[in-house]
Structure formats: structure tokens, C-alpha cells
Chain A
Amino acid sequence: MQQLIPPFDWHRIFVQPWTTDFSITIWVVLMGFFVTAACGLVGNYLLLRRMALIGDAISHSILPGLVLAFMIFKHNSTWVMFLGAFSAGLLTVAIIEFIHRQSRIKPDAAICIAFTVLFALGVALMSSLESQGTIHIDAECVLYGEIAFIPLEPPTVWNGMEIGPPSAVRMGIVLVVVALAIAVFYKELLVTAFDGGLAKSLGMRTSVWHYALMGALAIVVVSAFEAVGAILAVAMLIVPPMFAAQLSSILPVRLGLTVLHAGLSAVLGLHLSVWLNCSGAGAMVVAAAFLFVLAWLGTMAGSIRNRSLAVDRCSRDENLPQVRSL
């Protein structure tokens, strides 16, 4: 046991990261927070539209996107890679819709067909390029990411000022843009998610909003995968909104709770990874899931208590909203 779980050393786990290792810790935590919050905010709308699997599909299409972008443009600068992954993400959504519309295949099956085939294409192309010796893409890095490498990047310099590691700066900008877009287009995102028929009858172009959301999702996932990898980004899309959904049934409150949950998961995850000497991103998802379970158990306990209080009430009456908003 001593070998498997390192001893719990308060000073090493909780003090050292914020004193001697501060310059590393802060960027790992910030990156974790940016990724989880941005993914979680978009994830709220995926959950409301019952499209959780789409996040999975887009994140898996990153691999073929990266490989194809490299094959076409012959170099691996950040922007080329970003563009490749982003267009692969949108293409996946278009393929899914095409399959769904042109056949009687149900959406969940269409999603599985599209993304597994694209992922397989990525694996095949990548191994073929590798065997020719043209490029080495670290598949592990694409799938799992490595948040601990973020602070080691040469910092972005702006007006002679060192701001921080480029991926973290990019992710921070993505988070701000996503949050602003949700605030500005709150009404449109709300009605298209709740009642697409009404939205269309009001003259709104629902497919434009659908693709805008898918575009935001692709941007968020593609910017996140460097740090947490394509697989864990899916967890970041779904776990924070699930946590928020346990605690509130008011959308703006849920969005706020998502961001709070992101911050808590990043800090808790960091300490967990220092303690266990493990992958930072993995530890953050474990911490995020732990918080979700906590919230879930909390609401279950709350609803059991309230049910015993509500035994005498036979109709759905004035007191029910309070019961639910717990």
C-alpha cells in the first residue's frame, strides 16, 4: 500500500504548490479552470438539447483533423492544426446530420457511425504517415493531453509584457468569448434549445443557431485537448453541467454553478495530482466527478427529507417550487 498511495504529507500537498512551486501551480490550475469552465458552459446547452454524445463525436474527430491538416499543409503550426481539428469537428456534425436525414438511422446510431469511422480514418492515416517517417504525432498526447507541460511553454509576450503560456492564454480568451456569447445571445440560445418549433415560427433561423453552438463546441474542445486530451474534454463538457443541474433548476444559476464547479475541480484536482503523483487532467476529472457525486447525494438526501415532509400534500401545491429548488 505504501508503494501505491504515497503518504499524505500536508505540507507537500497543500503548501508547497502555492509557495515554492507557485509559478507552475498557478498555470496548471488556471488552465484546468479555463478548460473546465469553457467546456462546462457549452456543455449546459448540449445537455439541454439532449446532445451529450455530440461532444464525444467532435472530440474524437480531432485526430483525423490534425492528420489531414498536416497532410494538406505540410507543416504543424498551431493555426494549421487548429483549423484542421475545427473543420473536422464541424464536418462530423454535418455528416451525422446527413446520415440522420437521408436514412432512417436514429441520431445516436448516426453519431456512433460517424465518429468511430472518422477516428479509424485518423488512426490509419497517422500510422501510415509514421511508417513513412514523415511525422510523429503522439497519439497519447492527443487522447490524454498533458496539463503539466503547459507552464513549460515559452510565454506569450504582449507589449513587452510576459503574459503566460500560449495555450493557457488562448484557453482564457476562449472562455471569455464563450461566456460573453452566452450572455449576449442568452434569449436566442434559450428559445432554440427549449422550443425549436416556436423559435422557427418566430422567424429565427434555428439551424444557424445549431451550427453556431456546434462551432463553439468545436472551438472549445479543440483548444482544450492540448491540456486534457480529447477523451477527458468530453468529461469536462458533461460533468460540470450535471453538477449544476443537481443543485438548481434556474438556467443562469446553473451557468454560474458550472463556473464555480470548474474552479473547485481545478484546485482539488491539482492537490490530488500532487499527492498521487498522477496526471493533472485525470485528477481534475476525478475531482469534478467527486463533486458531482457529492451534489447528487446531497439532493437525494434533501428530496427524501422533503418527501417525508410532503406526505400530507395531495395536490401539486404552492410549496413545491421550494422543494425542487433545493
Chain B
Amino acid sequence: MNAPDSSSTPLEVHDLTVAYHKKPVLYGIDLQVPEGSLIGIIGPNGAGKSTFIKAVMGLLPVSSGWVKIFGKSYRENCHRVGYMPQRESVDWDFPVSVMDVVLMGRYGRLRLAQRPTKQDREIARNCLEKVKMLPFANRQIGNLSGGQQQRVFLARALAQESDLYLMDEPFVGVDAATEAAIIALLRELKSRGKTLLVVHHDLASAKEYFDKLILLNMRLVAFGDTDEVFTPEILQTTYGGRLTILSEVAQTLSTTP
């Protein structure tokens, strides 16, 4: 058994390095995520944001370092982690219904060859209700709009009933109403003591949405409370000399008090 303080830390990463074809894309990441916070992961394209959450879950081979989930290895505690992949990562012509997809969120709790139970269906239905997709439960997933697909994936993550959520760009391709609905749900999860790590690409809304930010650009640039790390200096370090983004940031900083 680990010490109690370590088992209440949802995510602890030490010296995490990931390489594709021997080229490092992420190196030396060290961080400790406290319980019950809503954390944004931001950084330029190719900074390794998705790579980071995939490496945490062991979806990618890790060159060095280790990851602990609530004080144990990912494999031992995978049932406490919920994952929402990028929408484009699956084939939306797949012959399944919305309900089938949400039920997949329950699979981690089922034994080999065990079918989802009545209770699992009830939970899946509740999760669909929360994202306002229950009327679509029996619909083929190929008929959904981008925002609806994103809501289905969110419902599936909710159905996992986890303590730590890793979400990859949940706001991509959604309209303003869906974006507001999603952020409200994420805040509700946080208020129930869940921890959420959300890959996000829009700097303008990052400051408003998240309590803490992880700024990545192949290495960890900064991690801390949004007020402390969302500064022009740190953003410049993260995004390098990319002028367009920097002017966007300048605008963001001048418009938000």
C-alpha cells in the first residue's frame, strides 16, 4: 500500500518521455495533479497535448518515466479513469446506435463475455439525458452532427463513472450552446470532487474555463493556477514566436480583466 497522500493524488507523472520513431515528442514531464480540479492542457499544434494524455493511459509506448493513478499503476486503477478521445478518432459510419456507444463506457466494469445489465442501460440512459441526447438513443451514429457526436462521447465518458477524466478536445466542432452545456457538465463533475484534464486549443476561453492550466510545448512549460500561469511571458514561452497567436493572446488579455 502507498502512503495515503499519494493514493489521493489522481495523477502523478514523473519524468515522462515519449518518442515517435526515436524522435522525442514529449520529454521530462513532471507533475502532480490535485484532486477535484478542472485543468486545461494548452499549447501549440504538435506540442504533444494528445500524446500526453494517451501516454498517461499507456496507449502509446513510453520511453522513460512513470505514471501513477491514485497511487497505483494505470493498469491497476484503469477503472477509475474515464477517457473521451477526439471525435475524429473513430469511424462514424460504424453500424452501432447512440445507446451502443454510450454502453461501451460501462464495458470496463463488466467481466469477459458479460453483457451490459439492466442497470448499465439505466446509467447509460441517465448520461444521455444529461447531455440532452436521450431522444437520439436508438439512432445510428452516422446521422449525428458534429456537436451531437461530441455529446455522445461525453455521455460515454460520464457512463464510466470515473474519478479522473482525460478529455481530448471536447469542444472541437461544437456550437456555442453545446460548448456551454459541456462546460456546465464538466463544472458539475468537478463540484462532485472529480478531477478533469481537458486538452483545449482555444486560448480565448481557456482562462475562463479552467482553474488550473498545464502549458505544454514538448516539455512542461508551466503548471499552476490559471491566474498565475496565464501571463504573456509564460504564453510567449509556450507558443514561441508565433505572432498571430501572440496577438490573439494580447487581445484576450486586454479584453478580460
Contact = CB atoms under 8 A, between A and B. Distances in A.
A202 B107 contact: yes
A184 to B, nearest CB: 5
A250 interface: yes
A185 B91 CA distance: 21
Contacts of A198: 83, 85, 104, 156
A324 B112 contact: no
A321 interface: yes
Contact of B59 (A185, A187, A197, A254): A197
Interface of B: 21, 54, 57-59, 75, 78-79, 81, 83, 85, 89-91, 93-97, 100-101, 104, 107-108, 110, 112-116, 135, 138-140, 142-145, 156, 166
A97 interface: no
A106 interface: no
Interface centre among B79, B93, B113, B145 (most CB of A within 10 A): B113
Contact of A316 (B78, B94, B143): B143
B91 A194 contact: yes
A303 interface: no
Interface in A232-266: 245, 248-251, 254
A194 B96 contact: yes
B78 A203 contact: yes
18 contacts: A48-B94, A48-B95, A185-B112, A188-B113, A190-B96, A190-B100, A190-B104, A195-B85, A197-B85, A197-B89, A198-B85, A201-B57, A202-B108, A203-B78, A250-B95, A316-B144, A320-B143, A321-B138
Contacts of B107: 187, 191, 199, 202, 204
Nearest to A206: B59
Given A188-B113, A195-B89, A204-B107, 18 more contacts: A187-B113, A187-B114, A190-B96, A190-B100, A191-B107, A194-B91, A194-B101, A197-B85, A201-B78, A201-B166, A203-B75, A245-B95, A248-B95, A249-B140, A250-B140, A251-B95, A318-B135, A321-B143
Question: Which secondary structure dominates chain A's binding surface?
Answer: helix
A200 interface: yes
Interface in A150-195: 184-188, 190-191, 193-195
A267 to B, nearest CB: 27
Contact of B113 (A184, A195, A204, A254): A184
A200 B107 CA distance: 11
Given A201-B78, A249-B95, A325 B140 contact: yes
Contact of A200 (B59, B95, B135, B143): B59
A313 interface: no
Nearest to A253: B95
Contact of B145 (A195, A204, A249, A316): A316
Contact of B140 (A199, A254, A321): A321
Contacts of B140: 249-250, 321, 324-325
Contacts of A11: none
B98 to A, nearest CB: 10
Contacts of A320: 139, 143
Question: Max chain A CB contacts within 10 Å: which of B85, B96, B116, B166?
Answer: B96
Contacts of A186: 115
A48 to B, nearest CB: 7
Contacts of A50: 91
Nearest to B160: A202
Contact of A321 (B90, B91, B139): B139
B78 A324 contact: no
A202 B59 CA distance: 11
Instruction: Please provide the 9 A-B residue pairs with the shortest distance between their CB atoms, ordered closest to farther.
Output: A202-B108, A203-B78, A201-B83, A251-B95, A320-B143, A249-B95, A201-B57, A321-B139, A249-B140
B200 to A, nearest CB: 19
B172 to A, nearest CB: 16
B104 A191 contact: yes
B58 A104 contact: no
A193 B91 CA distance: 10
Contacts of B89: 195, 197
B86 to A, nearest CB: 9
